Structure 1
Amino acid sequence: MKKFILSLTLSFCALLLIACQSQDKEMTLLDDVSSISISESNGYGGINENFNTTIGKDAIISRIDDTFKNAEGRKQKVDVGTEKPDYDILIRYENGENHGLHLVLGNTGEKSRVMYVGNENSGFDISPEGTKVLRDVLDNQ
């Protein structure tokens, strides 16, 4: 009986350690993006639906999609009461699904950060090259 309890306890601890370390390493985006809408953010937790621009051109969508897919996941602490993202992004897919994202846009040569709305403590770092892509897209819309 002691061996069974010890085995069960060790199994539970191992499972707990694995669960604590698991984190999405890349963003999960669906195929067939139909449009990307962008607005200035009002804060964490929801999306500002007063979109400044909606992108429907495949070439631009592909650049943004590649930038997000190459972002690296990391845990972060966000004070949703005092901090505010720069932009809200709504990605719409051809199958009718969508993703809401918050974007903290870095300066030229710096990383940016993107996170799913409602899951602000798991963000994704975008490389300085990705920041350049996002800045180019935002400046030309």
Structure 2
Amino acid sequence: MRRILTSPTAPRGWRRRRAARIALAAALVMAAPFVGRQDPEEATSPPPAAARHLDHRDVRVVPVPLADPAVADLLHPGDLVDLVGPADPDSPTGPAVVARAVRVRDTPAGRVGSRSILVEVPESDAARLASTAAGTPLAVLVHG
């Protein structure tokens, strides 16, 4: 009678899983030189003027409720906008520009009657914009 011995500590299929892990590690080692590599033309050409002012590490995404919900349908990701707050009655200059030249990240669908957009702002301006937007909807000026 032939008897197959198995170790109680080694579960079944461990050889297959070990071979799969080795194959995955080999694939990752082979792909590593190509990940994150830029096209030589892209590396030498300067970024567009709109993309130059923000580094991706210093960007925060802030939700902004809109004073006119229909404007969200006109915006697309990548558009540059100015965000304008309500007019201050004590200020002779009128409405305050809360943020200038911010990039629209997304325009998610919202409830009927209220819409918000997601905008990318520098880390230094994110808290101020979020606190202003939390209190009141903002108007949008679209860059041409």
Q: TM-score, normalised by structure 1?
A: 0.29
- Ranked by relative contact order (alpha carbons within 8 Å, sequence separation 6 or more), the top structure is 2
Q: TM-score, normalised by structure 2?
A: 0.28
